[in-house]
Structure 1
Amino acid sequence: MKNHPNDLHEFKPLLIEIEDKPLNPLGRIILYLVLATMVFGTAWLILAKVDVVVSAQGKVIPSGEIKILKPLESGVVSKIFVKESDRVKKGDILIQIDPTVTDASLSSKQDDLAVINSDIALLYALINESNLSKDEINKLNSSQLNLYNSQRQILASTYESNKAKLNSAKLDIKANESEVNRLSLLLNKEKEAKVRLQKVLDLIAKKEYEEVSKNIINLKEQRDIALYRLKESNKKLEEIIEENEKAIKTIKSSWIETSLGKEKEKRELSAQINAILFSNKTQQIKSPVDGFVGKLLIHTEGGVVSPNDNLISIVPSDAPLIIKANVLNKDIGFLKLGQEVAIKIDTFSFQKYGLLHGNIIEISKDAIEDEKLGLIYEIKIKPNSLDIKVEGEIKRLEIGMSVIAEVKTGKRRVIELFIYPIIKYMDEGLSVR
């Protein structure tokens, strides 16, 4: 079927109608909005600036010396009176401990002390030459009793030997005294005879007179010899007495020296026993300073502890808490002392409970190698406040809490955030051979 020539112009009125009809403004508005958004966005990217922040992971630490408390002796924890973060005053009871000391150890030392006391009583009896009482003898063991008897026998033997020497010396003195007396008596008789002969010298023979004179001379010589022997006998007696005293003194000096050693042992052993008895009394771990509980290292009542165990740490009140954070090597150059820091506490969501603020007070000069982060630098931050409000309750920062410290180091245009990665990528790409 052939088309009629007029069919080509059949739709012209419709086209004319469309051309004459005004355009819908919605499309134009959308176009303008897109163009305006692009212009505004480009301007914002170029002109707007955002904060440049260095983030560092850290934790809360005390800036002062922490007091670590340990028990004096092994024992069982009977009561724990505090919990972490509690404020305490000097002298407050923190933990109560019932020490456990073996009865065998105490009994052994008490037995040793009883033996030493018996030794001392034994020695004093020997020194003072007195007899032990029946009760004291009953306390002696067989070796002590044998020692006591043997030492008494030594002393008695010494006295017997000395007595024999003294008796012998006294007999010599007595014999010499008798001889002196006998010779003196004879000498006096001869002298009297000589006086009588002198009166009748003309009537008697001269020989008789000379005989008497000669006898007098002989008797004087014999008496002088006897006197000398008597003097020597007395001297020997004094020497024997001195030797006897010296022998007894030597024996007793040995006992005295031994007794002094025993007295020293007694004092030392008594001190050990007193220490054990003191340890057997209930111990109380008390706070040495005003402050608050940092870490409670034992939580179980009835647990056994020893002197090597750390029980609790006390942070002094005059030792404020600070934050130690680790900064990456690439960021450390932008930090300086005094910079403000925003502190986000991991325990409490900062979006809900807010932030704490502080300042950098110390920057380490040397880097530390970290297995995960590589080279890092430590910084210390002093918070302006240690308290944060959580659900209407004031919570205090505690030692060991993890935080994120954010330090604002400057501003950067938004467009730089997009351009710098591209420039860096291109620079690295061009540098590759």
Structure 2
Amino acid sequence: RAIVYSGALVLLAFVAWMAGAKVDRVVHTNGRVVPSGKQQLVQHLEGGIVSQVFVREGDTVTKGQSLIAVSALQANSSLGEKRARLEGLSARAARLQAEADGGRFVAPAGVAAASPEMRNQSDAFEARMARLGQSLRVIEEQQAQKRQEAAEQEARRKGLSAELDVARQQLTLVQNLLAKNAASQLEMLDARARVERLGTQIREAETAIPRLQAAALELQARAAETRAQFRSESRTSLADARVEMQRLQQEIGADSDRVRRTDIVAPVSGVVNKLMFNTMGGVVKPGDTLMELTPTDAALVVETRVAPSERGAQQ
């Protein structure tokens, strides 16, 4: 009888537990673990050809670690070409500065004295200075000639003035002799003609002297103008060269950034979740996504799909 009572009590307890207890149901389904935040997309601005892949899907990477290398041939070529042009412009600017200042032509900072650019600009400097010197020599020779002619006219004037004094004395003497019937009228006319002729020649010399002196001064001014024009042209060209140098420096900075961006690094520490380019030679278009990174500091959740009939007891 005790056994029967015990069994009955156990049965009643089980029935009571079944009436009030909640039984969980196990549902089997497929899913994936994803970060609770957004994936970090790794993209490339300019695009190019994949030259090397350093990671695989599932690899853990740290911020700044190299992920993919993109060919930099075009960027490097453009950068090298612009640096060469900048070096040539620097040498040209130094040459123009020397011309504008009338100083010596020396290699600027960053340009080797024996470089082809310096040799070319040195040749140009010497040629331009030679042309300027030749032009100035022609003007100076003309100026010297005018001064010489003016000096000759001054000497001639002095000589004629001395002759005129003698001629006037002779004319006075002939006039006195004519008054005493000791000289003929013809002698008096010859003496008077000589005085008038010498006076005319003196006036011509006196007129020529200031004209020749003015011509010499004009040539002196022309020489100064030639120098000033030469320097002005050099300064104008120098200003243009500096503007071009500034533009090239900006482009070189942009190209340098492009070269640096050919080594694509991890923007954050994380796990390579998906790799879009995993072979060398792949063509990356500008703005293409290269891979997806799951940041290591992001909380992980499970994404899955469950049939509606199996979701009743889920919370």
Task: Give the TM-score of the pair, scaled to structure 2.
Answer: 0.52
- Which amino acid letter does the alignment assign opposite residue 109 of structure 1? K
Among candidates 224, 245, 250, match of residue 266 of structure 1? 245
Q: Distance in 1 between matches of 2:307 and 2:163?
A: 134
Q: Is the 8 A contact 1:78 1:98 kept in 2?
A: yes
- Counterpart of 1:240 in structure 2 is 219
Q: Distance in 1 between matches of 2:68 and 2:164?
A: 97
CA pair 352-251 structure 1, distance change in 2 beyond 3 A:
same
Q: Report matched runs for 1:142-153 at 5 Å.
A: 142-153=119-130
**DSSP-derived class of the 1:132 partner:** coil
User: Size of the alignment, in residue pairs?
Assistant: 231
- Counterpart of 2:90 in structure 1 is 117
1:305, distance to aligned residue in structure 2 (A): 8.8
Q: Report matched runs for 1:302-317 at 5 Å.
A: 308-311=286-289
Q: Distance in 2 between matches of 1:243 and 1:350?
A: 102
Among candidates 102, 109, 126, match of residue 129 of structure 1? 102
% identical equivalent positions: 14
Q: Which whole-Å deviations, capped at 9, do the CAs of 1:161-200 have from their partners, x for residues lacking one?
A: 2222222222112112222233334445656788999999
- Which amino acid letter does the alignment assign opposite residue 308 of structure 1? P
- Counterpart of 1:56 in structure 2 is none
Q: Distance in 2 between matches of 1:349 and 1:144?
A: 82
- Counterpart of 1:223 in structure 2 is 202
Q: Does 1:168 align with 2:145?
A: yes
Q: Which whole-Å deviations, capped at 9, do the CAs of 1:250-284 have from their partners, x for residues lacking one?
A: 55555445434432321221111121234456799
Q: Is the 8 A contact 2:46 2:286 kept in 1?
A: no
- Counterpart of 1:138 in structure 2 is 114
Q: Distance in 1 between matches of 2:314 and 2:258?
A: 46
Q: Is the 8 A contact 1:98 1:281 kept in 2?
A: no
Whichever structure has more strand as a proportion of its residues is: 1
Whichever structure has more helix as a proportion of its residues is: 2
Q: Does 1:181 align with 2:154?
A: no
Q: Distance in 2 between matches of 1:348 and 1:196?
A: 151
Q: Is the 8 A contact 2:139 2:219 kept in 1?
A: yes
Higher relative CO (Cα under 8 Å, sequence separation at least 6) belongs to 2
Gaps of 5+ in 2: 1-40, 56-62, 268-272, 291-303
157-166 or 202-211, larger mean C-alpha shift: 202-211
Q: Distance in 2 between matches of 1:348 and 1:204?
A: 161
RMSD (Å) for aligned C-alpha atoms: 5.0
Q: Distance in 2 between matches of 1:98 and 1:192?
A: 114
Q: Report matched runs for 1:255-404 at 5 Å.
A: 255-279=234-258, 299-300=274-275, 308-311=286-289, 349-351=307-309, 392=315
- Which amino acid letter does the alignment assign opposite residue 262 of structure 1? A
1:242, distance to aligned residue in structure 2 (A): 4.5
